[in-house]
Structure 1
Amino acid sequence: MSHWKVPLADVVATQADIDAVVDAYRSGWWTMGPRTESFEAAFAAYSGAGHAIAVTNGTAALHLICAGTGLGPGDEVVAPSLTFVATVNAIAYTGARPVFADVAGPTEPWLSARSVEAALTPRTKAVMAMSYGGHPGEIEELREFCAGRGLILLEDAAHGAGSRLGGRHLGTFGRAGAFSFFSNKNLGIGEGGMVVTRDGDLAARLRLLRSHGMTALTWDRHRGHASEYDVVELGFNYRIDEARAALAEERLSRLDQENGSRARLDERYRAALADVPRVEPALPPRPDSVLAHHLFTVVLDAAVDRDRVRAALAERGVQTSVHYPPVHRFSTYASPAYDLPVTDLYASRAVTLPMFAHMTEAQQDLVVEALSAATASATAVPAGDNGGMPAWRPMQAEEALRLRPLRVLARPWTERRFVHRDYERVLHELSDSRRFNVVPLREFREASTDRVVVGMRHDVDERLGAALELARLEARHGIRATYFVLHTARYYAKAGWGSAERRPSILGHLRELQDMGHEIGWHNDLVTLQCVHGIEPREYLANELEWLRSNGIDIRGTASHGSYWARRLGYHNNYFFDDFEEVAPGLPNRDIVEVGNRECVLSKGRLAEFGFEYEAYHLGEDHYFSDARFDADGRRWHPDSLDFDAFNPGDKVILLTHPDHWDRSVGWKAPRTVVWAGWRAFTGERSRRPG
C-alpha cells in the first residue's frame, strides 16, 4: 500500500485481470504457449504492424530489434541521451557504438532530426527514436530522413502503447519497434515487452533470436508440430510466460479507454497550470495524434529550485520524478565530446507529475495546488526589500553559466576600439567555459546550432532582418527561437512603419517568418509615442494593427511597456495597458518593464503594485550608464529594452549587450557592459493595481 496521497503511477488489478492470470495457471501450461500466441495476434492487429513478438521485458525487445537488424561492432547508432539507459544499452549490447543527439526544444524532449543530421558519420547505420511520454515527436521527419540516407530507423516505443500519428501506431514507423509492459507503463503487467515489425523475414529472425536461435519451441513439440529442432544462430532466452501474456491481452482490451482517461487528465492539467507562473507543461498536444499520455512533465523556470519544489510536493504527499538523467552524464557513457545543451537544460528543470488512468480530480487538484505553492516559495534567488522589487547584486559569468546553457553570438563590434575591457573579460570567461561558444558574426552560420542571443540596433527593418536570419538558421541548423516580437516605435514612430520603400521589406520579412511557422508578436513603445512623439496611442494602434492584418500578418500577442518617461511626465502605466484592450480586445497582452540602470528600473511604475515579478542581475553598479538626463531638445533616450523581446514568455536568457546598442544619432551615450540573466517576461493575463 502506497504512503503517497498521489503516487507517480498506480496500478489497479481488475477482477478480469485476476481471472486471466488464474486461468493461465490452472491451464497447466505456464511457459510460452497459446495465450502468448493469442496476445501476439491481438497486439499485431491492434497496432497494425502485421507481426508481434512477445518477450520478457522492454530491454529484451530493444536488444532484439538491434541484434535482429544486424547492428554490430564498427556501426554507430544515433540515439537520444534523454531516455532510460536501456535504450542505449541495447545498442551497446550488439557491439555498436551509441552516438548522442540533442532533443528538439526546452518543452519538446524528443530526438531532433536536425541534431541527428549533425551526428552522422560514415559509420552511422541506424537511428533509434524514442517516443518520450508517448509523443510522436519528429518520427515522420526521422522516417523520411533515414529513408533518404539508407539508414535503419528503430523505435523505442516503451512509452507509446496506443499512441497514433495520423492513424498510424507508434512503433510501426521504423523497421522495428520495441514496447515495454513494465508495471508503470500504460499497458503494465509487471514485466514484459513486445517487438513489432511489418517485415516478415525480420519477424522470423526475431522469433529465432528470442529463444536461443532454436527452430522449434517447446509448445511446438507439445502440439506435435515438431519432434526435434536445430539451433541456427546465437540467440537469447527472452521468452515470456503464459500468465503475463494472458494479463497483457486482458489489459490491451481496455488500453484505449484508459488512454482516453489520461488524455482528459492531461487537458485538465494544462488548463489548471495555465495560470501558475514559472511552470510550463512539456509535450505540447498534436491535433493529428491520439496520444498515450504516459507522462505529464513540466519544465520549471530557471529561478525555481527544483529540489525544493520536489521536496515540498513530497511533504504534501505528492510523488514526483525526473525523466530522465541524461545518459551522456552517466560514467559509462560520459565524454567531453558531447554538447547537448537542450537535453541538459530539460533534464535540469523537468519534473514529472503524477499521471495514471484512474487518478481522481481531487488528487489532481492537490498536485496543482501543491506545485503552485511550491514554485512560489522555491525561488533560487530570493527577492530583496526594494519596495517589493528584487534585490540587485553583481553576477559573474560563471554564475550566469548555471542559469542556462546558451550559445552566445558576439558581433564584430567586439573588435572595435570602444569595447569596454570588462565586456571583453566576460566574453573571454564565457568563451573559455565548456558550455558557451562565443563566435564573431561572420563565423556564426556554421558555428551555432542552439538558441542564440543577438545584440542589434532598434531599427525595425534591421531587427526583423536579424530575426529572419535566425529563422533561416533554425530551418538549416536547428536553432530554437519561436516567438519574435516586433518593435514598431523608436525611429519610425511618426511614419508608422517607416517610409514607403521600407514597408514592403518589413512585410516580406514578416511573411517569411510566418510561413516558417513562427508566431509574430507585436511590441509597441506606447510611452514613446505619447510622451516623445505626441502620437495618440489608440489611433496609432488601431491603424497599425489593421495594416498588419490586412496584409496577412497574424498577430498572436502584444507587448507594451511603461517607462521612466511616463513617470517623469505624469502618466501612469494603466493608461497605456488599457489602450491595448480597447483596440485589440481578446488579444493576449504581455506587460513588460524597460531595463535601464538601477535607479531608473526601480522607479518605473512600481511594478510590485501591479503584482508583477521579475529578476535582474548585473555585473556591478559601475557597469550601468546612469547619466539619464534630457538632452537639449528633451529627447534623450534611456537604455531600456535590451533585446529580450525575441524570446518566449518565461524564458531565461543571458544577454551580452554591445556598447553601440543604441543609434548614436539620437544623442545619448551607450550603456557599458551588461550581462542580463534570469529575465522573466510576464505571462498570461495582465495584473492590475489591487483595488
Structure 2
Amino acid sequence: MATRTGRHCLAVPSNRLGLYLALRHWCIPGQRLLMSPISADEILFLVLAAGLRPVIAPLSPLDGNIDADAVDLDTVDAVLTTNLYGLPDRVAAFAGKTLVEDVAHAMETTVGGRPLGTFGVAGVFSMSKHAGAGSGGVVAVESEADLHSLEAARDLLLRPYRPVAEAVSVLTSVARHTAVRLDLVRPALWVMRALGMEEEREGLRIAPRPEELAEAMKRVPDLPPFDSWVRADLRDYRTRRGPLSRRYQVRRLRALPGRRARRIAGVRALAELPTVAKGVLDHLDQPLFRVPLLVADRDEAIAALERRGVATGYLYDPPYDDYLPGFVEPPADPGVARWWGRHALPVDPLQAHRALPVVRELTPAPPPPSRAAGPRSAPRSPLPPS
C-alpha cells in the first residue's frame, strides 16, 4: 500500500478504527466536520466518538457524494469524504480544509492520475472491499512523524490477538469468494439466514439508542464507550490481527491487478443502462467498487437479483439527519439525500454479466427533487457545546 500511494502506511484492524485515529489526530473535539449523509452507520458514531460535530452536507444527485457547490466551507473546520462506491469526491474543492479521505470504496480510483487517499492529511483504506480480505485497513499519511503518533494511538486501543476469531474471519471470507465463483450465492444466503448470520436489511442496521448515546457522549473523545455502535457487524474492529490475516490480505491485494480489466468492463456495460447514476459516465476508466443504479422499485430489484445469484449490499438509508436527529447538524435541503438513499441500487461490476438480465428491465427512479443553486449554511445543531 505504501508503494501504491507513495505514503507512509499504518496497518489497522479495520477502516473504521483507522478513521477514528485520523479524526482524533488531526481534529480537535468540538470542531465542525462536514460529511456526507450517505455512508455506513458506524461512521457517524465514530465521528461522534471523536468529539466532533457532524455537519451534514447536501448531496449531489450525480454521484451520491458531497455537493461541493452547495456548501459554505467557511462554516466548517474539516471535511470527511466518502467517495461512494468508488466515485471520487471533488477533493480539489476542499483545499485549505483539514481533509480526511475515507477511501474504503475507492482503493483503485484515481483523480488526474493520482490515487485517492493521497489528497488529504490521511487516506483510510479498507482491505475488505476491493481486495475482499474480510477485514483490515490501512491509514496512509504523508509525514513519518504522524505515522508514529498514529501507531502509538492505535496500540493503546487494540484488543489482544484472538487466533480462533482470526481464522474464522479468513475462512468466512474464503467461503464467500468460493460461493460467488461457483455460483452458490443463493444456497449460501439460505444457509446464512437459517443460522441467523445475515445482516438485517429491513429497518435500522444499528439501533441508535439516543439516551444511551447521550451518556456515551459525556466521555468523548474516548472510543470504547461507543463500541456497541461502531463495531456493528465487525465485532473485532479493533482486535489485533496476526500473521494469517496479514498473509491473506497481501494475497488478496496482489490479485487486484488481475481483476482490473474485468471490473472496468463491468462498469462500462452497466453504464449503458438508462438507470445508471450520471456521475458514473465521467469515470468509465475507473475500476469502481460498485456501479450505482437509480431505480423506481429497489426492493423488487434486490429480490430479482438474488434469484439470479447476485447479492446486494452497501445500502445506506435513511440519511444521517433522519437516522440520528438531534446529534447532527442537518442540511438546509435533505431532499436529494432521501431520494438517493431510497433509490440507489449498487451493482458489483464483477457480477455485471449475472445482473444485466435483471437490471436491463428496471424502471428508472423519478427525477431528484429540485434544489436552489448556490451554497447555503444549515441551521445550527441542537447539540450542546462540547
Q: TM-score, normalised by structure 2?
A: 0.69
Tell me the equivalent position of 2:262. Answer: 261
Q: Which residue matches 1:202? A: 146
Amino acid at match of 2:22: I
Matched, 1:175 2:121: yes
1:48 Cα deviation after fit: 1.3
Quote how far apart the aligned CAs of 1:259 are. 2.7
- Deviation per CA, 1:393-425: give whole Å up to 9, x if none: xxxxxxxxx985335xxxxxxxxxxxxxxxxxx
> C-alpha offsets along residues 87-107 of structure 1, whole Å, 9 cap, x if unaligned?
322221111111100122x23
CA-CA distance at 1:169 after TM superposition? 1.1
Return the alpha-carbon distance in structure 2 between the equivalents of residues 97 and 262 of structure 1: 37
User: Whole-Å Cα distance in 2 between the matches of residues 200 and 116 of structure 1?
Assistant: 33
Deviation at 1:351, TM superposition (A): 1.0
The residue number in structure 2 matching 1:154 is: 100
Q: Map Cα deviations across residues 119-157 of structure 1 (whole Å, 9 max, x no partner).
A: x53xx3211011111122311222x2xx1xxx2111001
1:186 alignment counterpart: 130
Aligned to 2:323: 330
Aligned mate of 1:370, from 355, 358, 365: 358
**2:11 aligns with one of 32, 54, 59:** 54
Query: d(CA) in 1 for partners of 2:145 and 2:103?
Result: 21
Q: Measure how far apart 1:56 and its partner are.
A: 0.6
| TM alignment of 1:533-572, pairs within 5 A | none
Which one of the candidate residues 342, 345, 350 is aligned to 2:339?
A: 345
Using a 3 Å threshold, how does the CA distance of structure 1 residues 333 and 307 change in structure 2: closer, same or farther? farther
The alpha-carbon deviation at position 318 of structure 1 amounts to: 3.7
CA pair 268-280 structure 1, distance change in 2 beyond 3 A = closer
Q: Secondary structure at the residue paired with 2:17? A: helix
1:126–1:238 CA distance, 2 compared to 1 (3 A): farther
Check whether the contact 1:133–1:293 (CA below 8 A) recurs between aligned residues. yes
Superposed, 1:53-452 pairs within 5 Å as 53-72=10-29, 74-104=30-60, 106-117=61-72, 120-121=74-75, 124-142=76-94, 144=95, 147=96, 151-182=97-128, 185-212=129-156, 239-271=240-272, 273=273, 279-286=275-282, 291-300=286-295, 304-321=296-313, 323-325=315-317, 326-331=319-324, 337-338=330-331, 339-356=333-350, 359=351, 364-375=352-363, 405-407=369-371, 448-449=372-373
Q: Tell me, yes or no, if the aligned pair for 2:56 and 2:328 is still in contact at 8 Å.
A: no
For the 8 Å contact 1:211–1:235, the answer to whether it is kept is no
8 Å Cα contact 1:71-1:125 kept in structure 2:
no
How far is the alpha carbon of 1:263 from its aligned partner? 0.7
Asked whether the 8 Å contact 1:80–1:100 carries over to 2, the reply is: yes
**Structure 1 pair 265–114 and aligned structure 2 pair: CA distance change class (3 A):** same
Question: Which residue of structure 1 lines up, in the alignment, with residue 190 of structure 2?
Answer: none
1:52 aligned partner, one-letter code:
C
Maintained 8 Å contact 2:55/2:330 = no
Q: Secondary structure at the match of 1:343?
A: helix
SS where residue 314 of structure 1 aligns? helix
- Displacement of 1:167 in angstroms is 2.2
CA distance in 1, matches of 2:328, 2:111: 35
Q: CA deviation at 1:213?
A: 8.0
Paired position in structure 2 for 1:467: none
Given residue 372 of structure 1, which amino acid in structure 2 is its aligned partner?
R
2:124 match: secondary structure: strand
Alignment of 1:21-36 (within 5 A): none
8 Å contact 1:312–1:374 — kept in the other structure?
no
Please give the secondary structure, in 2, of the residue aligned with 1:348: helix
Looking at structure 2, the residues matched to 242 and 248 of structure 1 have their Cα atoms a distance apart, in angstroms, of 10
Which residue of 2 is the match for residue 560 of structure 1?
A: none
For residues 239-287 of structure 1, give each alpha carbon's deviation from its aligned partner in whole angstroms, at most 9, with x where no partner exists.
432221222222222323323321111112223x25xxxx234542446
Q: 1:138, 1:173 → 2: CA distance?
A: 10
Q: Residues 376-409 of structure 1: CA distance to partner in whole angstroms, max 9, x if unpaired?
A: xxx99xxxxxxxxxxxxxxxxxxxxx985335xx
* Residue type of the alignment partner of 2:250: E
**DSSP-derived class of the 2:266 partner:** helix
Task: For residue 251 of structure 1, give the secondary structure of its aligned residue in structure 2.
Answer: helix
Separation in structure 2 between the aligned mates of residue 354 and residue 46 of structure 1, nearest angstrom: 23
1:230 is aligned to none
- 241 and 261 in structure 1: CA distance in 2 versus 1, 3 angstrom threshold: same
| Alignment-mate amino acid for residue 406 of structure 1 | S
- 1:663-682 pair list within 5 angstroms: none
Q: Give the Å deviation of 1:238.
A: 5.6
Query: Secondary structure in 2 aligned to 1:98?
Result: strand
Q: Once the two structures are superposed, what CA deviation does each residue of 1:507-533 show, in whole Å capped at 9, x if it has no partner? A: xxxxxxxxxxxxxxxxxxxxxxxxxxx
Closer/same/farther in 2, CA of residues 249 and 66 from structure 1, 3 Å limit: same
Matched, 1:45 2:38: no
Q: CA separation in 1, counterparts of 2:324 and 2:375?
A: 29
Q: Secondary structure at the match of 2:77?
A: strand
Unaligned runs of 5+ in 2: 159-221, 225-237, 377-386
Check whether the contact 1:133–1:292 (CA below 8 A) recurs between aligned residues.
no
When the two structures are aligned, how many residues end up with a matched partner? 299
| CA deviation after TM superposition for structure 1 residue 327, in Å | 2.1
Q: Distance in 1 between matches of 2:304 and 2:264?
A: 27
Counterparts in 2 of 1:235 and 1:203: CA distance versus 1, 3 Å: farther
Q: Which residue number corresponds to residue 538 of structure 1?
A: none
User: 1:158, CA displacement in angstroms?
Assistant: 0.6
Distance 2:148 2:125 in 1: 18
CA distance in 2, matches of 1:62, 1:314: 32
Q: Which residue of 2 aligns with 1:645?
A: none
Aligned-partner SS, 1:211: helix
User: In 2, Cα distance between the equivalents of 1:254 and 1:366?
Assistant: 22
- Judge conservation of contact 2:88–2:116 (CA < 8 Å) in 1: yes
Give the Cα–Cα distance (whole angstroms) in 2 for the partners of residues 252 and 404 of structure 1.
37
User: 1:315, CA displacement in angstroms?
Assistant: 4.0
TM-score, reference length from structure 1: 0.40
- Unaligned 5+ segments in structure 1 are 1-42, 215-233, 381-401, 408-447, 450-475, 479-691
Alpha-carbon spacing, 1:126–1:108, altered in 2? closer, same or farther (3 Å)? same
- Measured after TM superposition, the shift of residue 337 of structure 1 is 4.3
Partner Cα separation in structure 2 for residue 330 and residue 235 of structure 1? 21
> What residue identity is the alignment partner of 2:324?
S
Distance 1:209 1:88, change over 3 A: same
Q: What RMSD, in angstroms, separates the aligned Cα atoms of the two structures?
A: 3.0
Deviations 1:20-41 (A, max 9, x none): xxxxxxxxxxxxxxxxxxxxxx
Partner of residue 512, structure 1: none
Rounded Cα–Cα distance in structure 1 between residues aligned with 2:285 and 2:242: 30
* Highest RCO, 1 vs 2 (Cα 8 Å, sep ≥ 6): 2
Offset, 1:321: 4.0
Percent identity of equivalent pairs:
24
